[in-house]
Chains A and B, each alone.
Chain A
């Protein structure tokens, strides 16, 4: 069962889909655990090194954004939720924080010449670059990221 109670049906010859819901607090160990769970599922479903690199980077950036920006004014113990579904075709990860959100459209372009020397503001750019689809909702406090396996 994945986000929203969706069930993925697969042909019996394929590996079974992996899905789950996690809640974590702001700690390196918790973030590492989420990345490990999702990447192990990805590897079980045949995702190669380049895909795992992309997924790990996107999850890392989204979780760090959730805690650093979303939960900036909230207690450190406030949890972030992660729903994930992995099957051989795609990986869908939904990360939701409990902060006030933000307007993703107002983020400055970190690749603009005048912003290249700014040390922050590249997380969303990297998520968009590495994932197939990215959708923000709930005023920016919820990000849905989909990575599709390229067919051979």
Chain B
């Protein structure tokens, strides 16, 4: 699903909602806010949401994007859901390491491995 002004591609794999980014650069504040709102709506749509966010298409992100991911993570925890991240480029993974957010998020090398981790 990617319609209108959506910045996300969303698909379902059994009980897991898989999210991919349309933009290669997640820098623009307006887009980041839109992404946060779209993911929040997905979280609210499920009683115990299982979200997998793939960074397969992403070349750059900013601390503002990290902030939105943290907000998403907090919302999922409050909903007693599960969040996994996958397919993070090594350069971007380094950003997670520098900020120590690799400790906060459960990150898997591939979408398949992340999907398997929900079981």
Contact = CB atoms under 8 A, between A and B. Distances in A.
Main secondary structure of the interface of A (DSSP, over half): helix
Main secondary structure of the interface of B (DSSP, over half): helix
Interface residues of B, number: 23
Interface stretch (A75-83, A86-94, A118-126): A118-126
B17 interface: no
Nearest to A109: B100
B63 A53 contact: no
A122 B100 CA distance: 10
Contacts of A116: 70, 100-101, 103-104
Contact of A123 (B30, B60, B63, B101): B63
Given A28-B30, A50-B91, A53-B91, A61 B100 contact: no
A117 interface: yes
A71 interface: no
A124 B70 CA distance: 18
12 contacts: A28-B30, A53-B60, A56-B60, A60-B27, A61-B62, A64-B62, A64-B63, A116-B103, A117-B74, A119-B71, A125-B99, A126-B98
Interface of A: 28, 31, 49-50, 53, 56-57, 60-61, 64, 110-111, 116-120, 122-123, 125-126, 129
Interface of B: 27-30, 60, 62-64, 66-68, 70-71, 73-74, 91, 95, 98-101, 103-104
Given A49-B91, A57-B95, A64-B63, 9 more contacts: A28-B30, A53-B91, A60-B27, A60-B62, A64-B29, A64-B64, A120-B63, A122-B66, A126-B99
